[in-house]
Amino acid sequence: MSVTTIEVDRRQISRSRVHSESEVVLQDGEVRLRVEAFALTSNNITYGVFGDAMGYWNFFPGAPDAETPWGRIPVWGFAEVVETRVSDLPVGRRIYGFLPMSNQIIVKAGRLDERSFVDMSEHRAPMAAAYNRYVFTDQDPIYHPDREAQHMVLWPLFMTSFMVDDVLGQNVLESDPNSVASVVISSASSKTAIGSAHLLARRPGVSVVGLTSSKNADFVRSLDCFHRVVTYDMMSDLPSGTAADICAYVDVAGDSAVTWGVHEHYGDDLAYSLAVGGTHWDARARVPGRSLAGPKPQPFFAPTQIALRNKEWGRAGLDQRVSEAWNRFSEGTAPWLQVAPTSGPSGVEALFQELLAGRVDPSVGHICSMH
């Protein structure tokens, strides 16, 4: 059986290809996973945009090529053990975790316990532990068989959302519980933004403002987590900031022009600016001629905050907090999240190109299979 994978040019992620190669024989300690299904969202575009800066290309190295630096954008999904050279990891175990857009993957399983194992491959050793861990579905406290689609589409984004809310709480929102706070989130139709808004809106006194395109404005307004929706071409309609208020900005778009506009609007009244994503992947180089007003945007990397809370709360404490928040969120997604399947290498590659072009309905969760 051949291994079939979607690869992209690391220099220009809009250039993609379907690459096939022969299976290799397993070595001791290795496991072959059949990739059953994975979600494809704007979050995966962010992985490609920040592939070099954040090291996302290092998880699944592309096929060597003298002319083109091919890379493999990570996705989140389910896989099954179909061949094993690990005595305690039998064929048939299902896992959830970080995968390539492929029909199979070989991992070197280590640190095996009743709930999970870690890929100990040398090229992944320097990477964040949260991305190297594979969780057994039959031992995962957040796994529900009837919510596998939501799990693939929303769970990794929700973990990011949880940490965005946590970072804002830690650095801004909890400094004065009696203050009025406004949080502006760009790319408001993205799953990361929706999850963040859901959590932030539960905080007393916090007003969540969604920044989005005109074409997605009605969808964002239909959600129950944004108190106000403003389109990019009407940023002057953003609520005014005052010295008595706390105003924060969560940049999911990664569009320098949008960031500049928000900072210009609030100026010194902007208490905090958090750079989270890059859904506007083709707009990052558009830098206005003037310097940025207000605070310097702080880079956000979810695994860093996860590691911090894991140390402070313990693994069980972190899992409990996140699981409770996830269950509240996932139970309420049915009214707005539609699931659409895509199968086969050519279909998945075409969907990836549609996602890059911004032609994907934000209310649809795309579940892909390379088979």
Question: What are the domain boundaries of the chain?
Answer: 2-140+336-369, 154-302
CA distance 275 to 311: 24
- Residue 100: the pLDDT is 98
Structure tokens at 343: 């199968």
Sign of the alpha-carbon torsion through 279, 284, 286, 287: positive
In tens, the pLDDT along 327-351 reads 999 888 988 999 999 999 999 999 9
- Residue 290: the pLDDT is 62
Q: What share of the chain in percent tops pLDDT 70?
A: 94
Q: Work out the average pLDDT over 220-227.
A: 95
Report the DSSP beta bridge partners of residue 367: 39, 341
Domains 2-140+336-369 and 154-302 share a fold: no
Only one residue has tokens 């928040």, namely 325
Higher-confidence residue: 280 or 54?
54
Q: Which residues contact 135 (CB under 8 A, 6 or more apart)?
A: 95, 96, 97, 115, 116, 143
- Residue 76: the pLDDT is 97
Distances (CA, A) of 72 to 18, 57, 145: 11, 6, 28
- Residue 318: the pLDDT is 92
Residues in the chain: 371
- Residue 291: the pLDDT is 78
- Residue 176: the pLDDT is 65
Confidence of residue 301 (pLDDT cuts 50, 70, 90): confident
Could you tell me the pTM of the whole model? 0.83
Q: Which candidate, 174, 187, 170, 163, places its Cα nearest to that of 246?
A: 174
Task: Dump the DSSP string for 109-168.
Answer: EES--SSEEEE--GGGTTS-HHHHEEEEGGG-TT--GGGHHHHHHHHHHHHHHHHHHHHH
- Residue 166: the pLDDT is 96
Q: Work out the average pLDDT over 259-272.
A: 91
Q: Does domain 2-140+336-369 have CATH number 1.10.287.80?
A: no
- Residue 27: the pLDDT is 96
- Residue 315: the pLDDT is 85
Q: Does domain 154-302 have CATH number 3.40.50.2000?
A: no
CA distance 341 to 99: 18
